[in-house]
A and B are shown apart, each in its own frame.
Chain A
Amino acid sequence: MEVAEKKNKNKKYKPILDGIPDWPVYQLSKNRKEFIEEVSQEAFRQAKQLRPTTKQLLDELEATVYREQQRMKRNRWRVDPADEPQFWSGIKDELVSLTDKTSEEAQSRADNILYRIIHRYAGEIAGNFKPSSFRFTREVVKFWFVRLLNGARVKKFGAIFRNQYTLRDKIHIVGKVKQLRKLALKGTVVMVPTHFSNLDSVLIGWVIHSLGLPAFIYGAGLNLFNIKIFAYFMNSLGAYKVDRRKKNLPYLETLKAYSTLAIEKGAHSLFFPGGTRSRSGMIEKQLKLGLLGSTIEAQRNLYVRNPNSEDVRKIFIVPVTLNYHFVLEAPDLIDEYLSVKGQDRYLPEHDKYGSFQLIRFLFKFFTKGSNISVSIGKALDVMGNYVDDEGYSLDSNGRKINTRDYFVTNKELVVDKQREDQYTRMLSAKIVSEYHRINRVFASHLVAFVAFEMWQRKHPKLDLFELLRLPEEDLSLPYEEFKAACKTVRKQIYQLKEEGKVNHATHLKGKIDLVIRHGLENVGIFHLKRPLLFNKEGDIITKDLNTLYYYHNRLSGYDLEKFI
């Protein structure tokens, strides 16, 4: 049984820019060669600043060559260019020949080597956006999604060719959509979503398209490019490549310069500031400061370059949360999380997929519905102030303020790295609090949270790991008790919503019995072992406490524990 979601008012949005040639990302790829040149120069400048002496630079280069050769020996991928070994051994020989040179000569040769390395990296990173394949990809993805949905929902022969359901019925987009569309015309949007599942990037891609926004550039892990078909799609969507194997300074500076310059040039960008998927199921608390910092740096550069702050293209940060009943990889994620956190106290089990379970999983996937909702947060400037629909930054009293002033000391624009690092930390904290604010609580999150907390409460002497080791058969909750607790917590969630600290799905309202049923039916819906369900007596039981813990974590950080 499905509790009706409020009449879905998701409508179709017209594209805000007519032709693909107007898109910033297209401009970027048209001038690809010049752009790579520019990125290389910027990264070179930064790297030189960080390694000012000849000795430091040479040490860095040697370390880089060593690591690259180790990588090629141990972990080579299909996407890696064929001429790699040659390139690096060439660099190595040159470095060796520098030992007997005078220091001036060594410096200039080392500079030249550094530049060549950076230039090579910039070429590897750069995306390759092609309008024709973009259009093609978009249509193909849409077509198959719709086929799948219709085939699954309407159980009639031939249903697969109907268009009764579209993705918009499954995926609810709520929040500041209008503002986002307006701002995308006025400035550069940097979208920063939470990251729970590998599906996120596909989902966000669809959201961006369906809101009528031009393509965003997106740093995708290079491992995805190993798969030919993926590589084709990614390239066409304006993705640039991030190689997580490379941790050397020239590479990291090049990557940062790429993202900073692209934002400066007005390319709307997308990145997951949490870095990787949330292993625990909690909303991210620690964000990666490097990429966030590049938005602040880009904004400052724009102000430096243009003395008249009215003409400067502003950068808008848009936090987005993705809310699922179900995260496909949840059991694996929580396993990883617990084994890292518990060290030897936690013993992961390994008896995963039998063929019967696999069949059951596929069957469910195609027959049952499970909605996803995407909440678009209010846009922020790079300092974390809210902006209005015209893009003006506002203080807490609604007074307009000038973002440029944050970079000013005594009427002059000053570049101060330490200050901007601190600003980045402030922006990160603001984004995290926005995540919590726009997070939409689903019935499934509620029931998972309440059930897990109740079990924890019933075993006050056990720590988390001892609790998780309890045999699932020993755990059950009388329905009435469970219902009462759900009611209390739900009331508290309403209260938090009043205070603007969280949001909830419309299906959370109404008769608590129905809400609980909805929650139980949906929580981790496609997992082979359901995290929460009714037994024959109508009490609440679990088949997989770890996964339940994962879904429960979605509501941690709101201080709801004390209401159980």
Chain B
Amino acid sequence: MKITKEEVEYVAHLARLDFSEEEKVKFTSQLNDILMYMDKLNEADTAGIEPMSHAIALQNAFREDTVKDSLSHELSLSNAPEARGPFFRVPKVIE
């Protein structure tokens, strides 16, 4: 096994996802298959090869430091489940 049910529960918690027992078992098995498949990639010899973070060979994509129009705050808030005045309103969180 590449991954345990406890690890699936942990990852689900980090993603704030709530699964039933049944789902946990199913996802453990599915993730296990995926990770087994990934193992195949480990068979390739990568000695002396720099890890890459992108598939395209592009670097230094920049924009100049210029200000353009933002959205109006009405538009910014238009998708918000709850708003109050110019603010988004969320359940109180203090950490």
- Indicate whether A and B interact: no
**B contact set with A: CB distance below 8 Å:** none
